[in-house]
Structure 1
Amino acid sequence: MYYCIQCQTLHPENYSIKEKIFVSGYRYEKDTLYNVGLCEVHKCNGQAKEKKAVSA
């Protein structure tokens, strides 16, 4: 699992073909430390827009 900084949610490894999981970035989610990464851009665009609309 990794925390995607693009869509601000957790993803399993191999969630997308072109994901990038960083070895020097981390984030706590529910008392668990996860690596930070980026999933394939077009796979999460809908989720990212929904999150921004809700938080605005």
Structure 2
Amino acid sequence: MDCVETWAAADVQRPDASGVIYLFHCTAGTGWRFHDQGTGWDCTDLGLTVPASFCTS
């Protein structure tokens, strides 16, 4: 699990040997919620100002 600011990502290995990242977001009132799955996201689109391992830029 990799956490940066209000975002967290978990790298999941599937039985077919392909990997996918599950992205979660934490907000006040609702807590942690699943946001998306994929192989990477743009940090600026997520509103992050610091680098994260799950970001492609």
TM over 0.5: no
TMscore range, shorter length: under 0.3
